[in-house]
Amino acid sequence: MEENVTHRKPQKRTYSLNDLTSNNSSITEHTILSLQNTSIDDSYYTKELKEKIYLLHKELETAHLEIEILNTENTDLKRELEKKNNTLQLYKKIGFDDNKYTHYT
């Protein structure tokens, strides 16, 4: 039975602990200097996003209220139209001719 084994060469490190400390500086200086300080940018960006979310949430609430108002108005207009159509049908049944009489709306 054959075994499938891959042999790899050990990788050589390019920097050692001695290399970092040989320039009279500590390891922490190298690691701190090598990283950008993105916490300020991130916090500003996060604050901006939270503010935008808040404003969009308020706009959404306003839109929902407007939809409710429009739905109520639409329902009222449909009822009024139905009543007027019923009245018109009644006038037609009793022979009321719209052209002979003046009506006010």
Q: Can you tell me the distance from the alpha carbon of 25 to that of 92, in angstroms, rounded to the nearest whole number?
A: 102
Cα 49 from Cα 43, distance rounded (Å): 10
Q: What is the pTM of this model?
A: 0.47
Give me the amino acid identity at 38.
Answer: T
∠ Cα 69 70 76 (to 5°)? 95
For residue 96, give both structure tokens.
Answer: 């009321």
Which residues are CB-contacts of 17 (< 8 A; sequence separation ≥ 6)?
27
How would you write the pLDDT of the chain (105 residues) with one tens digit per residue? 566 766 667 766 555 555 555 555 555 555 555 555 566 677 889 999 999 999 999 999 999 999 999 999 999 999 999 999 999 999 989 987 666 655 555
CB 20 within 8 A of CB 30: yes
